[in-house]
């Protein structure tokens, strides 16, 4: 029962942090396949090994959620996390309804 809860928790974290963001369902399908193999007996899983897998699933779900929350926190405090200062400045200006002027070295994008 605890294993099922850990797998569901991991799938929710994967859906929220990976699948929804990238559209790539590979990680979700891999976790489902691994859990089905361990339930059906195709994968020889001992009790100790099962406990390790449950703990690992919980830890990985916690990691995924923590990284997302950390990025959101940095973004809310306007801390440069992605390394692109110009993008960060544009976002900050857009929050207050302004648009940054185009510098002489940049060209205005064509509106086609």
Residue with the bigger pLDDT between 44 and 60: it is 60
Model confidence at 20, pLDDT cuts 50, 70, 90, reads confident
| 57 neighbors 10 (Cβ within 8 angstroms) | yes
For the whole model, what pTM was predicted? 0.62
Tokens of 72: 């959101």
Alpha carbons within 13 angstroms on the beta-carbon side of residue 16 total: 15
Lowest mean pLDDT among 2-11, 29-38, 85-94: 85-94
Task: Evaluate the CA torsion angle 107, 109, 111, 112 in order and state its sign.
Answer: positive
pLDDT at 76: 83
Q: Which residues contact 66 (CB under 8 A, 6 or more apart)?
A: none
Cα separation, 19 vs 33, in Å, equals: 16
Q: What is the pLDDT of residues 48-59, one digit of tens each?
A: 788 898 999 999
Mean pLDDT (the chain, rounded)? 83
């Amino acid at each position: 029962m605890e294993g099922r809860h850990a797998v569901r928790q991991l799938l929710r974290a994967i859906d929220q942090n990976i699948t929804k963001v990238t559209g790539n369902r590979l990680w979700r399908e891999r976790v489902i396949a691994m859990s089905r193999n361990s339930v059906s007996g195709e994968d020889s899983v001992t009790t100790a090994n099962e406990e390790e897998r449950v703990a690992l699933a919980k830890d990985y779900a916690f990691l995924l959620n923590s990284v997302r929350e950390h990025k959101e926190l940095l973004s809310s405090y306007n801390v440069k996390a992605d390394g692109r200062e110009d993008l960060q400045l544009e976002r900050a200006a857009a929050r207050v309804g302004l648009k940054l002027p185009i510098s002489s070295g940049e060209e205005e994008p064509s509106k086609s």
